Amino acid sequence: MNGLSLRDVVVRYGSATAVDGVSLDVAPGSVVALLGPSGCGKSSLLRAVAGLEPLAAGTVSWDGVPLAGVPVHRRGFGLMFQDGQLFAHRSVGGNVAYGLPPRSEARVASLLDLVGLAGYEPRGIATLSGGERQRVALARALAPQPRLLLLDEPLSALDRALRERLAVDLRAALLATGTTAVFVTHDQDEAFAVADRVAVMAAGRILQVDAPADLWTRPVSREVAAFLGYEAFVPVDAPAAAPLRAVLEDPPPSGTLALAEGAFVVGRSGAVKGVVRGVSSRRGRSEVRVEVDGIGVVTALGPVGGRWSDGDVVELGVEPDAIAVLDDA
C-alpha cells in the first residue's frame, strides 16, 4: 500500500485509551479529514502518526514501511496547528523560507501567491490578521514539500466566515501541490469542504470513512447520522414515513429514514402537516421548528420573513436531499 497506512493503532495515556484500534489508509495525493467531537482522540491519532505520541499497539507505515522507531524529524511529514506557531521575529518571507535552501526567493514568492498573499514577504508577523497568519503557516508547512501534511484544527481559531473561505482555499492549495494530507476538525462543514474522504471518529474509534457525498447520503449508523446533523429517525415501514418514501427516487423496503434540517419545507404544499414550535431568522431563510406526528420535532426551512406563530398548523413539502436511509443491520 502506497501512502499512509494505519493498522490497529492504539494510543494510551496511563490507563486511559485515547485511540482504540484505528485502521486507515490515505492514498498519495489525497486528503482525509478526521472528524469527531471534542475528546474523541483525533489529535492523539494525528500526533501518533507524526511520531509525537508513542503507540501502545498497532503500526503506522509509509509506502509499506513501518515507522516504529523513526523520530518525528525523520518522517518527512509536515505539521500545522490551530495556532500556526510562526516565528514572531522573522518576516513573512523569512517564515516561509525557513527549512528551504538559501536563495529560495522565487519559491517563497510562488508559495505566498498560492495561499493568496503575493507580495507579503517583508511584512512582520505582528501586523497580520489571524487568517493571514494561518495562510503563512500553510505556505511554510508546504514549502519543504512534505510527503504527508498533518493539520490539527488549522482553522478553528478563526471566525466562521473566514473559516469557510479558508477551507476552500486550503483545499485548492493542497490539490494544486498534490499534497497528501490528514486534517483534524470537529466541524462537519469544514471536513466536507476540505477532504476527499472523511473519517468519522467517536470514543477513539473510526465509525465510517467515505467521500463526503456518500457519508451524507449513506451514514452507516444512527450515531454517525446524528453527528452529521440528522435530527429525527423514523422506521421506513411506519405510517409517518409514507410521504417521505414517496419523494425518494429509490425507496428502500426496510431500514430507517434519517431526517436532516430542511427535510421539510414550509410553504410548499405537501402531504405532511406540522405544528409550529418556534421560529428563528437566518440569512436567506427562516428555520421553523415543527412537530410532526410520528416523527417528532424537526427543523423545517421556510422563506425569509414568513410569519408563523407557535401552534400554527402548516403544510410541509419534503426535500429528498435531506433524507438518508440507514440499514438496520
Q: What is residue 200's three-state secondary structure?
A: strand
Rule CB under 6 A: say whether 43 interacts with ligand ATP: yes
* Total number of residues shown for the chain: 329
Binding mask 12-31 for ligand ATP (x = CB under 6 A): -x--x-x-------------
Q: Give, in order, the Cα–Cα distances in Å from 199 to each of 32, 81, 316.
A: 7, 19, 34
Q: How far is the CB of 58 from ligand ATP (least distance, A)?
A: 15
Q: Which is nearer to ligand ATP, 16 or 126 (CB)?
A: 16
Rule CB under 6 A: say whether 44 interacts with ligand ATP: yes
| H helices present in the chain, as ranges | 42-50, 92-97, 105-114, 130-142, 160-177, 188-194, 212-217, 222-228, 242-245
Rule CB under 6 A: say whether 154 interacts with ligand ATP: no
Q: Which is nearer to ligand ATP, 18 or 326 (CB)?
A: 18
Rule CB under 6 A: say whether 208 interacts with ligand ATP: no
Question: What DSSP character marks residue 91?
Answer: B
CA atoms of 273 and 243, how far apart (whole Å): 11
| Range in contact with ligand ATP (rule: CB under 6 A) among 35-43, 59-67, 71-79, 211-219 | 35-43
C-alpha cell at 69: 522507531
CA atoms of 193 and 34, how far apart (whole Å): 13
Rule CB under 6 A: say whether 188 interacts with ligand ATP: no
Rule CB under 6 A: say whether 67 interacts with ligand ATP: no
Question: What DSSP character marks residue 159?
Answer: -
DSSP states of 17-81 as a string? Answer: EEEEEEEEEE-TT-EEEEE--TTSSHHHHHHHHHTSS--SEEEEEETTEE-TT--GGGTTEEEEE
| Range in contact with ligand ATP (rule: CB under 6 A) among 34-42, 96-104, 211-219, 252-260 | 34-42
CA atoms of 94 and 89, how far apart (whole Å): 9
Binding mask 286-315 for ligand ATP (x = CB under 6 A): ------------------------------
Q: Which is nearer to ligand ATP, 47 or 135 (CB)?
A: 47
Tell me the site size for ligand ATP, rule CB under 6 A. 12
CA atoms of 91 and 94, how far apart (whole Å): 5
Q: Which of 4, 24, 33, 41 binds ligand ATP (CB under 6 A)?
A: 41
Q: Which of 2, 8, 39, 281 binds ligand ATP (CB under 6 A)?
A: 39
| Range in contact with ligand ATP (rule: CB under 6 A) among 21-29, 40-48, 249-257, 294-302 | 40-48
Q: How far is the CB of 238 from ligand ATP (least distance, A)?
A: 35
Sites of contact with ligand ATP (CB under 6 A): 13, 16, 18, 36, 38-44, 186
